[in-house]
Chains A and B, each alone.
Chain A
């Protein structure tokens, strides 16, 4: 059976929040539709109401300020972020990550906020946002709050969003340094979801790592930070042995499921390989 729902087209964020409150738990937000429409078609969701964000102002725009960092409206399309000059200049990790998502037809439709709100552990942006210490703003009729992207992902397709909340923007702090890496392993097709996805940022020097952030997608019930692997590096050198140890720690922290992309053992083995490689690449950028 095809989904039957009432279609709502509010024209302000306040109205969106009021509708979410009114139909709490029975409404889904429609932005780019690349995830929602597929789920409706497959019968995985059957909301009573679909709230279209097409006519809602205040969700667009990318602004960059050296002191404040990057602010991204939740309704910004993947493609816009990928092509944004400030992103390219100051956040090459984000540019590379978004460039690798699916293919242009999807990126022209899918929104950044929609991607995060979907809570899909297979998608790439969340890991890179995590590695950049980004936070999201959630809004409801009750008010606004901010949550770190790391805390935002709660479980498999579950986020910190309450049923009456909408993700309105993403804030990325000012860039901390040039050392980053992103690896998306897509052996079947470049357009596939990642078998393993790794985002890394490093600060310090090659002889001493001040800070490391390692975030992974596709190898656990959520996108997550491999904190144990970070601890291996923080305040230490970036020797090959240390990097290998970090890779092994990240693999230990992973909890991949078996699917058409491979067994869970294989993905765990690859997590070590790709965290290792990503750290090498990032360390090389430290100079």
Chain B
């Protein structure tokens, strides 16, 4: 940590802030919320992938004893909502566009009654032709899913930088290939749920396990047709988000609509089956075509990428995700001439959306394999090629991303050493192979209005303890702990003297929430700025009490000292009491704000999307069973550049979790659909990597310091996920000479490819 300061609290494995509540089972998740008179809500979902609703008759359901409210689109304002395109409704208006779509809902005294009532709702459906493949949906004769969207295209991107034709002509090697990714499902241990209450004065209170509180409020207000402050959203404990709980679904909307009609609180917790159908929006699956040009020495000369992204029936965050897939990776290596085309296309399937990596995994699955193919063709070592092309401090990507701190080369060196690349390549074993790849991610992204900021308030208690009011919330990664560490470090108090609030839109200032690996960097800066402001107030009063100049004071371990005369000190508690309990006294409280030095992309998608970029390199060693196609990951090495590490055990958890999800994405996961219906919507058929399936994982953090980050920190949460699938594919190729271009890389695909290779040669 050469550039890092000497920290008192940062870098320590403190007790996780909410750890005791979680391990003792006392943390209150949304299912634990019980309000007086609360009803159970259940949702009637479309059984058809595309169908017009001729008529809905709810009269039989309404008459069932114990039913307090039955709602359909007639109980809504019938206005679309959605973060980028307002194309979805809380309850189907006119037609349903995927299997699982919310059509009607019931609130009743218990679950059995509510479910019985659902069966009494009569819907007269007129089935419409449906389309399930994004490329087919773009064809002129495909059925239209949203009538106003020509060719079912929700979004088109076509960005050209430099002279792409000349660059390809100038290339010594040009390669072309196609890749395909799958909808991966978050598989959070807790499903989406909410408890909504509606008071007589017209205000909604919604308890949610969302990871983006104020965004949820904004979308609820739009869907309900009220002002933002007419909705109060309170975050409960969250059992895993990974992007899936960023409120792009209708669970809370329906609960709120039922609560208003029933005039009683309503709880809706998705069942696991519902969660697969219409809960967290799975990763956007993409078909990617690529052409890349290289100079003989391995330098990238040109890149052309064409993406067809599957939006599913509604847009959610997929428009931004498609943009990331098209452009983000150009920050990882030094590019000059690139073209990125992307089409986001509606299909009659589960809407896709945000998932750790946000488009980057599909892109890196493609680009990092292209790099490997090129290295192979050029007879170069992939590590050498990565080093040659790696971004560095001061690099500006063709799309305007400005790299400040960058330790990518250091990560490449570390990974090469950790995996034992040179030694293992020198002593090859049959059916064993090595693969590597690089990755880049952001620390916050400016795409929801011209703002990528955060704010926090810190108030000091008269016992000297600091309390942070923050609306960012905790989704499970340990942000609360990191925020408390940052505040403690800046205030000069022990970690145990800092606490943080739950997120509540009425009680905390506006925060964008948990996405884009943004909290440590963006919210951390806001908390640090609030702490600086509080420290100034404390020093002002301490200076009066110690009869010195405020600029002579330092804070440490809960005391304020006079520099150079450290026997002259006073406790933070005494200072707070001194300021409060006097004539004209006032509490010690201050707010801090931070907005990253990024810019909104212009109409041509040019602009620095984030305040800081995090980098990494990873490598895998695999063994392939030539008789079965089974791929066993022997060892996995990761080096991550996330700036200063604030909370080491939390950071390591992010790396390990990323690799576990990445390996699942590479080898086993993916929602399979037939005619728009998931065929594996349970954990028996949708398998996840378990603890026993994890390879030997070796990991290091780079020595790194981001000047614009809080104490030098930047983001980490998604970085590790992005390149894993490509690296596994590269390692398989190295082991047995076959390359699998579609996810997941099942043993059957590998075996068939091996047989084809054998028969072909």
| A positions within 8 Å CB-CB of B | 1-2, 4, 42, 103, 185, 187-193, 259-260, 262-263, 266, 269-270, 273
Contact = CB atoms under 8 A, between A and B. Distances in A.
B667 interface: yes
A190 B115 contact: no
Interface string B687-730: 11110110000000000000000000000000000000000000
Contacts of B628: 185, 187, 270, 273
14 contacts: A2-B112, A42-B682, A103-B692, A185-B630, A187-B630, A187-B747, A188-B667, A189-B692, A189-B693, A190-B690, A190-B693, A191-B690, A262-B746, A269-B751
A259 B747 CA distance: 14
Contacts of B680: 260
Interface string B80-114: 00000000000000000000000000000001100
A260 B674 CA distance: 12
B668 interface: yes
B116 A260 contact: no
Nearest to A2: B112
A188 B668 contact: yes
B547 interface: no
Contacts of A270: 628
B672 to A, nearest CB: 7
Contacts of B752: 266
A2 B112 CA distance: 7
B684 interface: yes
A188 B687 contact: yes
Given A260-B679, A266-B751, A1 B116 contact: yes
Q: Which of A1, A4, A187, A262 has the most CB of B within 10 A?
A: A187
Interface string B178-200: 00000000000000000000000
Nearest to B272: A41
Interface in B159-192: none
Interface residues of B, number: 29
A193 B689 contact: no
Nearest to A192: B687
Contacts of B685: 259-260
B115 A1 contact: yes
B684 A193 contact: yes
A187 B627 CA distance: 13
B688 A273 contact: no
B173 to A, nearest CB: 35
Contacts of B630: 185, 187
Interface of B: 111-112, 115-116, 119, 627-628, 630-631, 667-668, 672, 679-680, 682, 684-690, 692-693, 746-748, 751-752
A265 to B, nearest CB: 9
A262 B747 CA distance: 8
Given A2-B112, A103-B692, A187-B668, 10 more contacts: A103-B690, A189-B687, A189-B688, A192-B687, A259-B685, A260-B679, A260-B685, A260-B686, A262-B748, A266-B748
A1 B119 contact: yes
B115 A2 contact: yes
Nearest to A193: B684
A243 to B, nearest CB: 14
A185 B625 CA distance: 12
A24 to B, nearest CB: 27
B752 to A, nearest CB: 8
B233 to A, nearest CB: 30
A35 to B, nearest CB: 11
Contacts of A42: 682
A216 B751 CA distance: 21
A280 to B, nearest CB: 12
Contacts of A262: 746-748
A34 to B, nearest CB: 11
B232 to A, nearest CB: 32
B115 to A, nearest CB: 5
Nearest to A1: B115
Given A190-B693, A191-B690, A193-B684, A1 B748 contact: no
A2 B111 CA distance: 9
A179 to B, nearest CB: 22
Q: Which of A42, A263, A269 has the most CB of B within 10 A?
A: A269
B663 to A, nearest CB: 10
Nearest to B115: A1
Q: Which of B111, B748, B751, B752 has the most CB of A within 10 A?
A: B748
Given A2-B111, A2-B115, A187-B628, A260 B672 contact: yes
A14 to B, nearest CB: 34
Nearest to A4: B112
Contacts of A269: 751
A189 B115 contact: no
Contacts of A259: 685
A264 B61 CA distance: 45
A191 B692 contact: yes
A175 to B, nearest CB: 29
Q: Which of B628, B631, B682, B685 has the most CB of A within 10 A?
A: B628
Contacts of A263: 748
A124 to B, nearest CB: 15
Given A1-B116, A2-B112, A188-B668, A273 B687 contact: no
A194 B491 CA distance: 56
A191 B685 CA distance: 12
B690 A1 contact: no
B682 to A, nearest CB: 8
A270 B631 CA distance: 15
A1 B44 CA distance: 12
Contacts of A2: 111-112, 115
Nearest to A43: B273
Closest 8 CB pairs of A and B: A188-B668, A188-B687, A266-B748, A190-B692, A187-B747, A187-B630, A262-B748, A191-B690
B604 to A, nearest CB: 43
B747 A273 contact: no
A187 B111 CA distance: 39
